[in-house]
Chains A and B, each alone.
Chain A
Amino acid sequence: MSPVLRLLLRRLGISLIVLIGVSMLIFTIARVIPGDPARIALGPNATPEQVANLRAEMHLDEPLVLQYGHFLADVSRGDLGTSLYTNRPVTLDIAQFLPATLELVLIAGIIMVALGLPLGILAARYRGRWPDHLIRIFSLLTVSAPSFVWAVILMLLFAFYLPIFPIAGRISDIYDIDRHTGFLLIDTLLAGNIAAFGDAIRHLILPAVALALSGIGQAARLTRANMVETYDKPYIEMAQAYGFFPSRIARIYAFKPSLIPSLTIIGLDFAAMLGNAFLVEAVFAWPGLSRYGVAVILRKDLNAIMGTVLIIALTFLIVNVIVDLLIAFLNPRIRHSTRAT
């Protein structure tokens, strides 16, 4: 078995254990709720009979362990229950709202990597000099405010004062695009509607940048820190002794060995974005999981809350497995873990 495949199986195994743990944690949180979930769901006008029926349906009269068993059995069948808020299966609701959130987070992730890593390289290359200081201040500033503050500031500046970008939403009302994937950037292209695609991008930019900002700062700091450590390694002096240009040494010789430790943390930053998307979506009225999540939370809609958190945890675990594979692929020590002498 190849080392990468072995790693993949191991990571999937661990992820499964963690996912079961997450389900326990969510279940525990859900059962901490004060009051009777059935009564809360049905509202104050329900008859005792109705409440009793729903309690039976939700298995609320059985011991906790059995309740968890039912929950796990349902989840493994892909059944997250029915939302008491929308009266639809939670899976359907999530399928409807998740793509908008994923699209936002993915684009934000790309912006984070595309700007954060080069800034980190630049800071490391000019460490101790003014570009380094400037980038340090920038990084510290970006991580010093929650993304909803950046969202509000960006909106004020670039949607109101300088009306470059739209204020809210995913796409202008004039475009009627068939939803195939739920990812508007893909659906507009599938429809062959370039104007709509451009419009969707214009709607994406401000929310994605607001979401990415603190990640950019973190990625830059991390890349710089790892690269500064790499700069002390003998192989960098060797590269200097061979007369390679400083910019080439930074981009290639110092960056690649430093990338691997950075990637793990960037995976975690991506996770933080899944949470922060709640904040940015609220500011830009982005029709994603956040609006749904906040709505179901305010209504104490247990099935929907548990389902949403579980799906987010699952997404995060998948991202982490992908990051781990990427690391394995980039790290020759893992790829060639059999020593050939």
Chain B
Amino acid sequence: MSALLSISDLHLGFKGLSGINNVLHGISLNIAQGERVALVGESGSGKSVTARIVLGLLQETRSARISGAVKFDGNDISAMNPKARAALRGTDMSMIFQDPTSSLNPAFTIGRQFTEVLRRRDPSMGADACQERATKMLGEVSILDPNRVLNAYAFQLSGGMNQRVMIAMALANRPKLLLADEPGTALDVSVQAQTLTLMRNLVADHGTAVLFISHNLGVVREFADRVYVIYRGNIVEDGPTQALFSDPRHAYTRALMSAVPRITGAGLPEVPEVSEDFFAPQISHGGVA
């Protein structure tokens, strides 16, 4: 089976006042259809910008310098025009953000936003059909009273409820790829765990591939089939979750795993200090589709 998403030798730099500031130094990454892949690293390691390149958002930023190939479903995203890229977003690809409550627009009801999302796929969809589909999707994320939620504004709902809404919206158009950028980090730990389990089951049912971006190893271990570890714009180690966790070979991965996570469980493990070993070449455990 060919890869749904294949990134090869991706470079990214931002043009600033003092020349180009390089963020990604040629990373490569593959995701098969329906596969759940995690990209793990500290903040600033380049994991979030990778998601934004896949979505085609960073390409619109004038200061961004991007090179390398990003192939989605056989088409090279970097070669597309902005309109074609935008056409993929919200239909074949969708994204879930860190803080669900502030990611929903405060000026519109959940129902209105849901309708807008559904019409990305099918602009002719009527109000009743949208309502019906939204209700069904909210049911899938175990929301018991979908009508109340659809008529509510995000600030009237709890963070966990908004997270479910976001998951429902993200999957409503049956995307092939879901990008999840630190989903639910803003929520408390038990709610986060709950919604992640929900999301895991849903994407498994729908056969949706996921690029899961996180700094939380515990969550990644639960969620992903395969893991890429990213450090300062380089992938340092990759492999099936089981193999990588039981036998971390790269110095940075080992440091990450032996470091003690903060008490909240959501925080980044305290990696001791920068070591020269962290810049050693990528180690691969194989397992790429």
Contacts and interface: CB of A to CB of B under 8 A. Distances in A.
Given A235-B106, A332-B106, A340-B152, A244 B97 contact: no
A233 interface: yes
A244 B158 CA distance: 26
Most chain A CB atoms below 10 A, which of B94, B107, B156: B107
Given A234-B97, A340-B148, A242 B106 contact: no
B266 to A, nearest CB: 18
A248 B266 CA distance: 36
B107 A257 contact: yes
A235 B157 contact: no
A234 B107 contact: no
Interface string B143-160: 000001000110111100
Interface string B254-279: 00000000000000000000000000
Interface in A240-296: 240-245, 253, 256-257
A237 interface: yes
Given A333-B155, A340-B148, A238 B95 contact: yes
Chain A at the B interface: SS class: helix
Nearest to B148: A340
Contacts of B98: 234
A235 B55 contact: no
A256 B153 CA distance: 14
Contacts of A238: 95, 97, 103-105
A77 interface: no
Nearest to A259: B107
Q: State which size class the interface on A falls in.
A: 20 to 34
Most chain A CB atoms below 10 A, which of B91, B105, B153, B158: B105
Given A234-B99, A243-B88, A332 B153 contact: yes
Interface residues of B, number: 32
Contacts of A241: 55, 57, 89-90, 94-95, 97, 179
B90 A235 contact: no
A336 interface: yes
B79 to A, nearest CB: 18
B218 to A, nearest CB: 25
B86 interface: yes
Contact of A234 (B103, B109, B153): B103
Interface of B: 55, 57, 86-91, 94-95, 97-99, 102-109, 116-117, 120, 148, 152-153, 155-158, 179
